[in-house]
A and B are shown apart, each in its own frame.
Chain A
């Protein structure tokens, strides 16, 4: 039983694709899995063709309990459910700020769900705010997809600094390479240099058209094209993540 957050300060690094595919693989393994779409854009919900329930919003999320349970939706895949995002999540920081123990709120609403689910995966929005702090407190591990570029490294440094500031251990973070392009020399060099470090996963997710096309066929690539290169890469990554989740 664990909570895995997929998080990065930067946008467009493949967070949603990673969380959607890993959640699907987790359910395929037989673990009852809940994917929480925390990004107001609702991309993960979109991939699963699930619309935000009409009466669902940030308030309900932060109240937790029944308010969340009522709004969880079954996906097309056995053992995989989704808590859809709502557009009101864009103001989640304001709502959090008004609450007591504001950094622990997400943890307190998610933990009870581990009674029903073996694994919870959080698809997080890109920023560095109160919500991020909540996510770091709630999650057992934080999977950080990065594109191997210099700017990504910079944001990674900022992330570690932030974690230190809020009193979270660096070991909670698992760095993975996303959208890797073999033909780019810098990608390969940076990756080689990074791989030596602790908490950096070895299995990269290459930049592949099949992953980008998930928006067209609206399914996890691991379900739509189970034998594709993209699926293989996600499977290898998931195995590695599982070792760290214990």
Chain B
């Protein structure tokens, strides 16, 4: 079988390529191929989904390549769109690459994260018959705004000429071997010049608190991290790259609001009141655009719910939403650039940096005590509310339970690092199952409300509106049927959540000794 040997060495600055070539001419003839110079762009989503899955995505003009992160080998090579500030998987022609990107990126787009120039000079080493026995590639990688170029030598063996390969290797062995693909180093170097590091952002909320920390300093850590998440997402929202920037921003806002109302008497009440109001305002100004984003993301799913003959009717519905979204986005940008939003975010940051003379009742209590109390209280509430729900309870109560579930989830996420990692992961996993159900159930009824509202605004008369009406009607009945079915599942889903061993887990994790007695 063919031997696939990847030989890569760095060429030190002190060694000029000419010197290396001279050394090789003692044993081989050298045939230089023309130098190839290429502008290369590395792309990834804002949350590094390509990188996190062990790939690298590069683009030279319209030629896109997906590399293995660890070997640098090209896995897929296809032509695609010209790179611009944001490319969605949809912009690629259908093929292997598009499929993979669709799965990895979902609603996210890829943007340039590094760029530079790669120059490759191929040199064929030939024997006395002028037969190529080894291929040598001299590469120069110069990333934009990133200091000195990097030189490297790569060998490609020719089958059946192992002795010659060994001879070239022995010439090169005194240089440092390249342990990681140059493409990977390019990405790191290039993204660093843009102030980023691969994998530096994830929408996951990961905190490290210390149980002995005072409650006041712990909430400082929590709120500062959430504020950071808001700030890093703002440029993406303003540029309107994809819907996730706004989503992540809003999640951070919601978590902050939740924190302010859940964690009582750690910050001074006046501060809490002010920022509760301020963050409510942030939630409010970002709401309309996000709502429309959600519906626009439903487009394919909605179509799949309808028979083909009715799908056309949805076209004007989504067109309408898209036009509305453009208007809302404009308002949103104006708000985010406006004085009030900027004021809220900067004063919140300075509040933690400057330190407050006023203190609250529990400010200096160890965080673990507060954490247990808050989480356990939330948990009991979810349990109580959930158990009160039976088949006759109105849907409204299920929605309330969803809110309670969310509060519990946030509370666990704030303080999760204080408890056993595995137990917390299990607790979250079980809660998540309930939450997913509640979320889906809520979505089904909210969606029906929105469609009903839209339908009320549709005036009869035109053919187009008739088709739209038919499509919306069909969609509503489809959603309704699903909701009715989902309602029937409540008992079994909540039954699992409130099972004895689940209760034991939560009690073990979050009860204070005093309470458990």
Contact = CB atoms under 8 A, between A and B. Distances in A.
Nearest to A115: B1
Given A49-B130, A49-B131, A51-B129, A74 B1 contact: no
Given A49-B129, A49-B130, A50-B131, A73 B159 contact: yes
Interface in A67-121: 69, 71-76, 81, 116
A81 B159 contact: yes
A76 B124 CA distance: 9
A116 B3 CA distance: 12
B160 interface: yes
A112 to B, nearest CB: 11
A12 interface: no
A73 B130 contact: no
Contacts of B157: 74
B1 A116 contact: yes
A69 B2 CA distance: 8
A75 B158 CA distance: 8
A177 interface: no
Interface in A52-71: 53, 69, 71
B252 to A, nearest CB: 49
A71 B1 CA distance: 11
Given A49-B130, A76-B131, A76-B132, A116 B161 contact: no
B131 A72 contact: no
A69 B1 CA distance: 7
B158 A74 contact: yes
A72 B159 CA distance: 7
Given A69-B1, A116-B1, A116-B2, A74 B129 contact: no
Interface residues of A, number: 15
Interface string B154-169: 0001111100000000
B193 to A, nearest CB: 35
Interface in B392-426: none
Nearest to B158: A74
Contact of B160 (A49, A73, A116): A73
A9 B405 CA distance: 86
A218 B2 CA distance: 25
Given A69-B1, A116-B2, A74 B130 contact: no
A136 interface: no
Interface in B114-169: 124, 129-132, 157-161
Contacts of B130: 49, 218
Residue of B1, B2, B131, B158 ringed by the most chain A CB atoms within 10 A: B131
Interface string B237-271: 00000000000000000000000000000000000
A7 interface: no
B161 A74 contact: yes
A160 B58 CA distance: 55
A116 B159 CA distance: 13
Interface string A200-231: 00000000000000000010000000000000
A234 interface: no
Residue of A49, A51, A69, A71 ringed by the most chain B CB atoms within 10 A: A49
A71 B160 contact: yes
A74 B159 CA distance: 4
A245 B367 CA distance: 76
Contacts of A51: 129
Contacts of B159: 72-74, 81
Contacts of B129: 49-51
Interface string A117-161: 000000000000000000000000000000000000000000000
Nearest to B127: A49
Given A116-B1, A116-B2, A72 B132 contact: no
Contacts of A75: 132
Contacts of A72: 159-160
A235 B384 CA distance: 80
A12 B113 CA distance: 60
Contacts of B161: 73-74
Contacts of A69: 1
B129 to A, nearest CB: 4
A76 B129 CA distance: 12
A74 to B, nearest CB: 4
Nearest to B128: A49
Interface in B158-212: 158-161
A53 B160 contact: yes
Contacts of B1: 69, 116
Nearest to A53: B160
A50 B159 CA distance: 12
Nearest to A77: B132
A48 to B, nearest CB: 7
B124 A74 contact: no
Contacts of A50: 129, 131
Interface of A: 48-51, 53, 69, 71-76, 81, 116, 218
Given A50-B129, A71-B160, 10 more contacts: A49-B130, A50-B131, A51-B129, A53-B160, A69-B1, A73-B159, A74-B159, A76-B132, A116-B1, A116-B2
4 shortest interchain CB distances as A-B pairs = A74-B159, A49-B131, A73-B160, A74-B158
19 contacts: A49-B129, A49-B130, A49-B131, A53-B160, A69-B1, A71-B160, A72-B159, A72-B160, A73-B159, A73-B161, A74-B132, A74-B158, A74-B161, A76-B124, A76-B131, A81-B159, A116-B1, A116-B2, A218-B130
